[in-house]
A and B are shown apart, each in its own frame.
Chain A
Amino acid sequence: MLFTSLSYLFFFPVVFALYWLSPVKFRRALLLVASYAFYMCWIPTYGLLLFVMTAVNYVLGLAMDKFPSRVKSILIFGLVANIGALVYFKYTGFLLDSLKSTIAGIEPWFKLPVASQDIVVLNVILPLGISFFVFEFIHYLVDIYRGHKPIKNLLDFSLFAAFFPSQIAGPIKRFQDFEKQLTELKPLNPTLVHNGMTLILQGLFKKVALSDNLSPLISQGYGNVHAMGTVDAWLASIGFCVLVYLDFSGYTDMGRGSAMLLGFKLPDNFNLPYFSTSLGEYWRRWHISLSSWLRDYLYIPMGGNRVSRLRRHINLFITMTLGGLWHGAAWHYVVWGAMHGLMLAVNQEYDAFAKGKPFFERMHATVWFKIFGCALTCAMVNFSLVVFRSRDIKDALVVYSRMLSWHMPAGESLVDMFMAGVMPTAFVAYLTYFVLSNGDRVPWLKDFKAFVGSRAALARVCGWPTRIAVYAGSFFAALGFAPTSASPFIYFQF
């Protein structure tokens, strides 16, 4: 079930009503049932997978607490089990296919015990959200190893694993924060409802009105890279940067909004990433829950910043490469991750070089340098996402060649497609909303006291009738701009 589907439109209000009408002691159980119903409406048998993995990790967590002398071996067993499940479901096909290609490449020269045609590539259906909940289980076990107390209540732990607003596409939760919220269930209040509804409607508009309209245009470009001209190649690459942000952040907003309406606060996953002035800052603003997980459970265990500079760069490179692999079982994702590893290493070297030098510190404080930094960061992200989006490395190289040397388009221009649809109007509407609602987060807007003051004055005058009218209007606007066929949510494949 997608957050943007009609099914969810009926499912969530029922869950919301039942949750707040039921006695407090039944609410967690109700949420658990709803979460499993949400997950199992796709492929019911995979609910069993979630249940088994939940049970195994719950037992392992308790065992680590009960048997401190064996904590390391239990942890290793747990990591092998979780990573093993992830590898089996997500990477079996990829590994077998890569092995088959490798053997096919070398068998003309070497006599091997196995021929490439003997290798059968299995296509295992990827359970939805497995990348996310496996990472949550790994975080859980590692944090217990580091001294945190496990969740004793099976119901609470099951809900941590299956909580439907974050089940399929994150954000990757931290169990300590979630458990605390379970013990301090908030009452329903107007602020919660307003913030939750705002997030849901904002996310809905980003996903269905903007992302779903942009997706066919990007697919048209990347689906036939040889027909793209230079302008189209740039439009497709920049468009994909915008698309992946709108798609993922939109979906996350809907999940966070749904959680908020149930009284839960999920961690923020995006903080205006395209306003970053360096790549390091970008990764602190983009998919925050994943990048912090990679830092805490991969980079820091490898030594973090406590090792030599060269070793630090190697660790960063490995972390980002594995982060790329997490996104998908294909080599171009690995290359994308490796590119970010290299670029981050260069960024770190520059930071080390500039540190303590007054000239650089003065230069970094200027507005122009901030603008330059932002443009450079966006350019690096843009270039790397070409590899991410392309079908394979060959296609990525064609796109790069189109971007860097002049070509005329061979088919319908993407610019014409963009202008002919609803996107120009939808984008202008969204940007207007963005400026009005995020003015205090954008550097140059928040300095306008009159701007902030007028928003406060408007809020004092407007009550619930206005809010309800705006909610209804936003909902209809999102659905009105939505194309007739929805595009799949990009991060579902991860």
Chain B
Amino acid sequence: MPAVSTPTKEKASPVVSTPDAALGGRKHSWLHLLLEGIIALALVIFTIEFLFAMAGVGEQEYLRVDPVLGFCPMEGKHVTWRKEGNGRIQFNSQGRNDIERPFAKPANAYRIAIVGDSFVESLQVDRKDNFCSLMENELNQKYGHLGKHIEVINFGCSANNLGQFYKKLHTQVFAYQPDVVILDVSVDATKLLAPLQGGFAFANARPTFVLDKKGNLVEDWTVFKWWNKTPDGKRFAKTAWLRQYSRIWGAVGVMMGGYTMWYQDLLDGKVWGWGAVGQPAAAPPPPPAKIASAPKEEIIVVDASKKPAPGSYSAVDQACGGSTGSIDGKGKAAALATAAKPAAMPKAAIALPQAQGDVEAATRQYWPVADKLIRQMNSDCLAHNCRFAVAHLPARPDIGFDNPLETSRLEALCKTTSIPYIDLTPPFLNAPKQTALIYSVHMTAAGHKLATKEFVKFVEQNKLAGN
């Protein structure tokens, strides 16, 4: 008889019925673990980037370093702004909160360029609800029958000062051949001409202007150059790609901001409920290089009538010139990169006065510069066959967060030079529900509607709509 081997009972492999039972069980090779880690991390990053993109999380960083203006918004960037209001927009290929528009002005177009700061940029509301879009719709409804299509172009950028407005006029605005330029001045415009030395943030790394002894405008890049050499500035440059494309990075930025505030509270003893922890205070940032005063040095003269010197504003303007037709974003960037190198820093110029923190003091010190810039912008616009107007936008009038010195001087300047001028503060103050018009600083959707109404009236009264 053949041997009959009794079948051996196989041990049933343990059934893993719950995920927990698998913990600490099977051992994997290091290669398996490495591959698993990489794949898992990639999947997790992809999933979170997807979720954040759906929810608009980590989309609040949108400025990049710019060699011409100091900083500017990232082209094509999606921005979700929830600090005030709730706006979800995408910057166009020129880095503006606006639709795409050709540089070459269409034959039947009438262009009104609005130059300003965050009040014009209007990230707090959707694009269709900001006053530029509303103005365009309303003006076209009223005057579209005259055969012209009115375009209201938004050139707003957060934290810009008057000096940056001036540079933008030559490097961007005139490229669109506007018929009208309206300069929107808010409470910060003059104050931001003062270079800051403490409490540094990226948006303070901007060019500014001073006046030489002959009263000419002198451009100053000290603070910008200093900041870009600091560890923060270098980190900014290295992480540009992440800041542009990664929402996780954007969210981490917010978390780091929260951590910094917590750490400061910890140093101040506010975290633990008793005394200071005894940590040393953080070292202050080094001051920027001080410019000695010496009268006989080369200076930059900004004069549109003269042949533009290489690297001057006019050269950049011509490089981007609208008469040559539309230039795509890359071409424009290339033109800016080659032609718009800032002029060499004067070896010595007037020492920069410091007026950080005190708005009135800064206004007094820098008003002559602001005055000169506005006059220069006016004459430059006239030289480019476009009209120039000035508007004053309210910040938060209900608590007097305004700059009466700047406002009064601005009004007087416009009167003297016959520049059409509108101050939107009184209509906001007189509105029945003022607190519904402004968030903590910027306008709400209702505020934009009121601003539109006032702007349309202003434009009509001063014949700025081609009417």
Contact = CB atoms under 8 A, between A and B. Distances in A.
B40 A456 contact: no
Contact of B57 (A189, A422, A459, A466): A422
Given A463-B28, A463-B33, A484-B254, A40 B273 contact: yes
B37 A469 contact: yes
Contact of A422 (B17, B55, B83, B254): B55
B17 A480 contact: no
B392 interface: no
Interface stretch (A41-49, A237-245, A377-385): A41-49
A35 to B, nearest CB: 15
B70 interface: no
B22 A425 contact: no
A426 B22 contact: no
Interface in B11-47: 16-26, 28, 32-34, 36-37, 40-41, 43-45, 47
A469 B254 CA distance: 21
Interface in A438-494: 440, 452, 455-456, 458-460, 462-466, 468-470, 472-473, 476-477, 479-481, 483-484
A421 interface: yes
Given A426-B55, A456-B16, A456-B17, A466 B22 contact: no
Contacts of B28: 463
A219 interface: no
Contact of B41 (A452, A469, A484): A469
Interface string B219-250: 00000000000000000000000000001100
A465 B33 contact: yes
Most chain A beta-carbon neighbours within 10 Å: one of B17, B33, B57, B274: B57
Contacts of B47: 473
Given A465-B40, A481-B57, A425 B255 contact: no
Interface in A182-201: 189-191, 194-195
B273 A42 contact: yes
Interface string A336-378: 0000000000000000000000000000000000000000000
B439 interface: no
B401 interface: no
Given A472-B44, A473-B44, A456 B18 contact: yes
A205 to B, nearest CB: 11
Nearest to A486: B258
B259 interface: yes
Interface bin, chain A = 35 or more
Contact of B82 (A44, A190, A484): A484
A7 interface: yes
B19 A459 contact: yes
A290 to B, nearest CB: 28
A425 to B, nearest CB: 4
A473 B48 contact: yes
B251 interface: yes
A226 to B, nearest CB: 16
A114 interface: no
Interface in B255-297: 255, 258-259, 262, 271-274
B44 A480 contact: no
Given A420-B86, A476-B251, A194 B23 contact: yes
B219 to A, nearest CB: 37
B19 A6 contact: no
A233 B109 CA distance: 49
Consensus secondary structure, chain A interface: helix
A469 B19 contact: no
A463 B57 CA distance: 30
Contacts of B58: 480
Contacts of B43: 469
Interface residues of B, number: 47
A429 interface: yes
A479 B255 contact: yes
A189 B24 contact: yes
Contacts of A469: 37, 40-41, 43-44
Nearest to B46: A473
B52 interface: yes
B342 interface: no
Given A44-B274, A465-B33, A477 B24 contact: no
Nearest to B262: A6
B107 interface: no
B21 to A, nearest CB: 8
Given A6-B258, A422-B57, A195 B20 contact: yes
A480 B57 contact: yes
B84 to A, nearest CB: 11
B279 to A, nearest CB: 13
A10 B248 CA distance: 22
A465 B37 contact: yes
Interface string A16-47: 00000000000000000000000011111000
A249 B437 CA distance: 39
Given A190-B24, A459-B22, A479-B255, A464 B33 contact: yes
B349 to A, nearest CB: 41
Interface string B357-381: 0000000000000000000000000
B248 A194 contact: no
Contacts of A468: 37, 40
A285 B52 CA distance: 33
A462 B17 CA distance: 15
Nearest to B251: A480
Contacts of A43: 273
Contact of A41 (B20, B258, B273): B273
Contacts of A460: 16, 22, 25-26
A456 B15 CA distance: 9
Given A456-B16, A465-B40, A484-B82, 8 more contacts: A6-B259, A6-B262, A189-B24, A191-B20, A421-B82, A463-B28, A470-B40, A480-B247
13 contacts: A7-B262, A422-B57, A429-B51, A440-B18, A456-B18, A459-B21, A460-B16, A462-B36, A462-B40, A465-B36, A470-B40, A473-B47, A484-B83
